[in-house]
């Protein structure tokens, strides 16, 4: 006998339903964008949903059909948002490309995804002129602007004006319903080695992630918020905020190309932003600007920081000086991206402020929908004692099972369940607070013991004269590897290697203190702001430690 | 060509995953229950998940297989929670029965659902002894207690001791994975006419509802909360809290059978409850107790009130006297139950306190996952102007498409979409705030115009001498129907019909003021606390209005 089935309405989870919800129930709630054209643009959810429908019509007119990829090279703005919904909502696949990659990488990715249409902001006209001839699959180029800003002459073939395409459509378009497991968007990971690989999200995974991301112990989004995603829409879909914001009916503020401290501060204040999200480096610029000009935030209440580990000093500055709550989060492109967030439980009420801070500095607890565990090198689960460090694996409905066009499964099987190996090394404590100690390939193996490069970097970053620090392994004749600290000093600061190493005394076990410090003028980063440790290790491969 | 599919992990939404999540990530977070046995019991999520697995084993040993129904007659407590998960998690169907119904109704419902096992609290031994012989489908009766509390002798056949059943199992049980659209639980609506009808929820609908219910603009649940559901687990699954609480990893406090003001207050204080949920009548008792004893709440911050419209005076008392935020909510058994909640938007920041209150007194905005509209009698959509009142219809993945074992669809088709008719009459304003003005069958039709019985009741309830009021239609030779107010005075209060009717002056349009007042000692209620208007109308069918 078959089991009894539920008797509920069968409605597939469709991305289009998010913008329809916002258009119906938050019709006049604003979407404010600083445009690549230089001005401020104001619209609302009702108008945006209509324009997304017009875009769906326009893309069909250009010959797109179910499953076709539409690439974007664009900043955070209302047109990019329309593309998210007009593309995914009409069963096409939105492929956001990171414009900070090298031109040849961009071309490689667009070709790998076989993008049929490529939409791009004014900023990227010179880039597209350069690579258009290499983009073998692209049939139509769409410049995301109005007639007035179209270039008088260009070498880009089949170039369309975005606003013009929309103006030619009626908007009389009914969002289709289809299998919720259909692909909705693709993001490529900017791996530090090998070719980038695509994560293919579905309507189902995107909507489950959207629900989870808005929860009180996640990003805590409501209709009382004004949300400014500093994290770009080409960086794992701005961590899902373009979906979570219409879900809750909040006001959305889009910063466009200008992510410097002054531009951001002015937008935060003029639009009364309450909540933001971004990688640590962007907050550095904002904090510096606000400090240097002795300013305050009048509405900014909390921010989520992820992408790479947030230095504890940054958390303290934002909280103590500016009253901005920092939510430390961790995720991956392969995870849509949210995995964990550091939010306290009732049981932590009694902790003293320092103990609370130490918990909040961890990457935190999983949100429901994600599970995790740590494994030793034989794939045996390790205890959740806050001490044992192991390879972090995760599972859940918004985590990839496969990379785009790769046959080989990236998953590992543990006790009959499939898990995605994150490539991170982490501890988990009895309350489920996870802390990343390293990327598995960045860990420093000294005499058989592991030293966390992140711990060393966090201590160095707490020194007032240090602007940025990276700890890497350096060959050592006796210990196999020993830590070398690579440091960029703050402008005008005085600091010697000896002074900085003394700063580690009492802050970490003696045998973990780096053997040497190398001062440099710049540390190399990937296009998404991560330190390129591979490059650094290569740069210092012949470095002779004083202990060697 | 088939559309491109997403490449995410395929994991069905299983109710068991909620308790597994809580057991893994909130292992030692407490579940505190006031038991039918009279004492306080303390456990935590890890132990509860283990016992739910043992229950799944025990039910299989009793001969249950996929799709079989397990009935419950039980208060809110940890064993009832174990049943929720042990039953649904092992692909059986949890059928919570309202023990406040008449015995013959209970027997009818258990037989209609063909419950194979019936679990019940100590309180209900006499009831089961009375009806056991009528329960034709029940093979096993399970008394939810330990050996020490088992009755020495009883007429109940095939009686098992719940704790004993669990103690005989190992707990070595792996939660199965199956189709997420499988039935997980059944609730019967206690209709005021006709036989009760069953709503059959699925794992999918329950989990989507759980995500939505915990959102900041819904019940706003987090791991910092201590949550006490006063609303019974037999009343639409305690509005989903037994699912939302493990989702967020909060502490859960279960009040058992004692819902009087003193018992509740003591539990709120001893367990530091932050959030609760219940119908208006239960708050009356708690408020009276706290006022009479000049007490304060030390941890209680907010409560959701639904089930029937919350009188504005009750909202003001809780907020102004006790600092408890009231979230006015609306839903139905057929909606799992959450539909709307009254939470303000950023745009309302500028409103004066009175205007805010008027908005908060409405039933509020839909949570994402539910859509609604109002229709005229020809099923044409009415404008969202806050004035036009029409028949409220809803749709969404946690709303029923059909009643259990009814072939006829209850849905109506509007513009090609199927909607569930709620039987409520409501207005919706431009911001999506819905306000119920009546049950469609309770509306008073005076000279072709509709008068809202709820408006009249809210005004009457604001009079200091009124304990409870019900407005019903009364036949009128000229106007067809005119309102009659049926009133229970507060103990010892003096009030005449003239005084009460004068109280309406200036509070509502003159033509809507009731024609007469009838003072009674009691107003009849359904088992779920709703006023039985049908019975009242019948009682006053020969009442002669002074205007007639």
Q: Do B199 and A7 touch (CB under 8 A)?
A: yes
**Which of A216, A220, A364, A406 to mutate to test binding with chain B, by most B CBs within 10 Å of its CB?**
A216
Predicted confidence (pLDDT) per residue in A468-512, tens digit = 999 999 999 998 899 999 999 999 999 999 999 999 999 998 999
pLDDT bin (cut points 50, 70, 90) of residue A83 is very high
pLDDT at position B464 over 80? yes
Task: Provide, as residue numbers in chain A, all residues whose Cβ is less than 8 Å from the Cβ of B418.
Answer: 9
Distance CA B110, CA A424 (A): 53
Cβ contacts (< 8 Å) between B91 and chain A: which residues?
Answer: 3
Average model confidence (pLDDT) across chain A = 95
Q: How confident is the model at residue B534 (pLDDT cuts 50, 70, 90)?
A: confident
Nearest-CA distance B329 → chain A (Å): 16
* pLDDT score at B191: 59
Q: How far apart, in whole angstroms, are the C-alpha atoms of residue A185 and residue A71?
A: 10
Q: What is the DSSP letter of A133?
A: G
Q: Which one of B8, B181, B431 has the shortest CB-CB distance to A400?
A: B8
Report the residue from A1, A220, A402 with minimal CB separation from B216: A220
CA separation for the pair A118, A72 (Å, rounded): 6
Spatial separation of the C-alpha atoms in residues B77 and B248, rounded to whole Å: 19
Contact B5 A183 (CB under 8 A): yes
Which ranges in A177-222 belong to alpha helices (H)? Answer: 203-214
Q: Which residues of A touch B64 (CB under 8 A)?
A: none
Q: What pLDDT is attached to residue A1?
A: 47
Query: Which sequence positions of B are flagged as catalytic?
Result: 189, 334, 445, 450
Q: Which residue of A has its CA nearest to B271?
A: A346
Buried/exposed code over B105-132 (b: 16+ C-beta within 10 A; e: otherwise): bbbbbbebbebbbbbbbbbbbeebebbb
CB atoms within 10 A of CB B348: 16
Least trusted range by pLDDT, from A58-72, A184-198, B225-239, B404-418: A184-198
- In this predicted structure, which of A431-440, B279-288, B413-422, B445-454 has the lowest mean pLDDT? B445-454
Sign of torsion, CA A326 A330 A331 A332?
Answer: positive
Give residue-wise pLDDT tens across range B277-327: 999 888 989 999 999 999 999 999 999 999 888 889 999 999 999 999 999
Among residues A185, A188, A183, which one has the least CA distance to residue A108?
A188
State how far residue A223 is from chain B, nearest Cα, in angstroms.
Answer: 5
B442 vs B456: CA distance, rounded Å: 12
User: Tell me, what's the pLDDT at A3?
Assistant: 84
Q: CA torsion sign, B416 to B420 to B422 to B427?
A: negative
**Interchain contact, A8 vs B366, CB within 8 Å:** no
Which residue is closest to B4 within chain A, CA to CA? A67
Least confident stretch, A29-43, A186-200, B219-233, B452-466: A186-200
How much is the pLDDT for B1?
47
Q: What is the pLDDT of residues A162-178, one digit of tens each?
A: 999 999 999 999 999 99
Residues 6+ apart with CB under 8 A from B49: B19, B20, B22, B23, B85
Phi then psi for B243, rounded to 5 degrees? Answer: -100, -40
- The fraction of chain A above a pLDDT of 70, given in percent, is 99
Q: What percent of chain A has pLDDT over 90?
A: 87
pLDDT tens digits for range B6-25: 999 999 999 999 999 999 99
Q: What is the 3-state secondary structure (H, E, C) of B152-192?
A: CCCCCCCEEEHHHHHHCCCCCCCCCCCCCCEEEEEEEECCC
pLDDT score for A275: 98
Q: Do B400 and A9 touch (CB under 8 A)?
A: yes
pLDDT digits (tens, 9 = 90+) for A323-360: 999 999 999 999 999 999 999 999 999 999 999 999 99
Among B219, B228, B361, smallest CA distance to B286 is for B228
| Contact check, Cβ <8 Å, A223/B365 | yes
Structure confidence by residue, pLDDT tens digits, A503-526: 999 999 899 999 999 999 999 987
The pLDDT of residue A307: 83
CA count, 13 A, side-chain hemisphere, B83: 32
Query: Torsion angle, CA of B484/B490/B493/B497, rounded to 10 degrees?
Result: 0
Could you read off the pLDDT of A207-223 as tens digits, one per residue? 999 999 999 999 999 99
CA distances A163 to A53, A75, A145, A147, Å, are: 13, 16, 6, 7
pLDDT tens column, A123-148? 999 999 999 999 999 999 999 999 99
- Residue appearing with tokens 């095939």: B158
Q: pLDDT tens digits for B124-146? A: 999 999 999 999 999 999 999 99
Q: Evaluate whether A324 touches A383 at the Cβ level (below 8 Å).
A: no
For residues B247 and B45, give the distance between their C-alpha atoms in angstroms, rounded to a whole number: 11
Say if the Cβ atoms of A396 and B9 lie within 8 Å. Answer: yes
Mutate to test the interface with A, among B1, B9, B45, B176 (most CBs of A within 10 A): B9
- CA-nearest of A318, A340, A545 to A428 is A340
Q: What distance, in Å, lies between the first and last C-alpha atoms of chain B?
A: 73
C-alpha–C-alpha distance, residues B540 and B542, integer Å: 5
Q: What is the DSSP letter of A318?
A: I
Burial-class residue B292 by CB neighbours within 10 Å (0-12, 13-18, 19+).
Answer: exposed
- Kindly report the pTM of this predicted structure: 0.91
CB distance A220 to A211 below 8 Å: no
SS3 content of chain A, % helix, strand, coil (to 5): 30, 25, 40
Partners of B471 in the β-ladder:
B485
SS3 A354: helix
Q: A346 and B250 in contact by Cβ < 8 A?
A: yes
Q: How many CB atoms lie within 10 A of CB A495?
A: 17
The beta-carbon neighbor of A7 closest among B2, B226, B404 is: B404
Does B526 have pLDDT greater than 90? no
Helix (H, G, I), strand (E, B), or coil: what is residue A15?
Answer: coil
For A12-107, strand residue ranges (E) read 30-34, 40-44, 69-73, 93-96
Residue of B nearest to A416 (CA): B174
Q: Which chain A residues are within 8 Å of B9, Cβ to Cβ?
A: 395-397, 399-401, 418, 420
Tell me what ipTM this predicted complex has.
0.91
pLDDT reading at A430 higher than 60: yes
């Amino acid at each position: 006998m078959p089991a009894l089935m539920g008797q509920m309405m069968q409605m597939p989870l469709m991305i289009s339903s998010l913008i329809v919800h916002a258009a119906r129930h938050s019709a006049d709630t604003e979407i404010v964008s600083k445009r690549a054209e230089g001005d401020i643009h104001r619209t609302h959810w009702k108008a945006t949903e209509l324009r997304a429908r017009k875009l769906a019509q326009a893309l069909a007119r250009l010959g797109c059909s179910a499953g076709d990829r539409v690439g974007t090279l664009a900043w955070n703005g209302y047109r990019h948002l329309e593309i998210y919904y007009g593309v995914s909502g009409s069963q096409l696949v939105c492929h956001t490309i990171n414009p900070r990659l090298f031109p040849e990488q961009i071309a490689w990715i667009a070709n790998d995804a076989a993008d049929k249409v490529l939409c791009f902001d004014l900023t990227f006209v010179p880039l597209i002129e350069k690579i258009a001839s290499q983009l073998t699959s692209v049939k139509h180029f769409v410049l995301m602007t109005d007639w007035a800003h179209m270039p008088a002459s260009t070498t880009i073939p089949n170039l369309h004006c975005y606003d013009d395409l929309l103006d030619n459509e009626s908007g009389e378009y009914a969002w289709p319903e289809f299998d919720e497991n259909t692909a909705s968007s693709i993001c490529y990971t900017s791996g530090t080695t090998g070719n980038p690989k695509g994560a293919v999200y579905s309507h189902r995974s995107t909507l489950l992630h959207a629900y989870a991301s808005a929860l009180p112990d996640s990003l805590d989004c409501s209709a009382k918020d004004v949300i400014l995603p500093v994290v770009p829409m080409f960086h794992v879909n701005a961590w899902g905020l373009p979906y979570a914001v219409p879900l809750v009916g909040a006001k959305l503020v889009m910063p466009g190309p200008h992510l410097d401290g002054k531009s951001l501060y002015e937008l935060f204040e003029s639009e009364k932003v309450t909540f933001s999200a971004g990688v640590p480096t962007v907050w550095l610029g904002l904090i510096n600007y606000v400090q240097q000009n002795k300013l305050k935030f009048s509405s900014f209440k909390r921010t989520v920081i992820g992408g790479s580990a947030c230095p504890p000093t940054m958390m303290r500055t934002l909280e103590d000086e500016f009253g901005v709550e920092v939510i430390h989060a961790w995720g991956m492109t392969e995870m849509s991206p949210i995995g964990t967030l550091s939010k306290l439980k009732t049981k932590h009420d009694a902790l003293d402020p320092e103990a609370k801070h130490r918990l909040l500095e961890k990457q935190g607890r999983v949100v429901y929908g994600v599970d995790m565990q740590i494994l030793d090198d034989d794939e045996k689960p390790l205890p959740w004692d806050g001490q044992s460090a192991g390879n972090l694996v995760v599972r859940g409905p918004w985590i990839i099972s496969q990379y785009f066009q790769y046959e080989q499964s990236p998953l590992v099987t543990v006790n009959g369940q499939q898990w995605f190996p994150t490539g991170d090394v982490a501890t988990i404590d009895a309350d489920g607070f996870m802390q990343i100690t390293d990327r598995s390939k960045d860990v420093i193996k000294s005499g058989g013991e592991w030293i966390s490069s992140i711990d060393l970097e966090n201590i160095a970053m707490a020194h007032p004269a240090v602007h940025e620090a990276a700890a890497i392994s350096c060959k050592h004749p006796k210990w196999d590897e020993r830590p070398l600290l690579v440091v960029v000093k703050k402008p005008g600061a005085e600091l010697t290697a000896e002074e900085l190493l003394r700063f580690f005394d009492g802050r970490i076990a003696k045998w973990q203190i780096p053997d040497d410090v190398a001062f440099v003028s710049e540390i190399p980063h990937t296009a998404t702001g991560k330190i390129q440790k591979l490059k650094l290790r290569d740069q210092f491969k012949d470095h002779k430690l004083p202990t060697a």
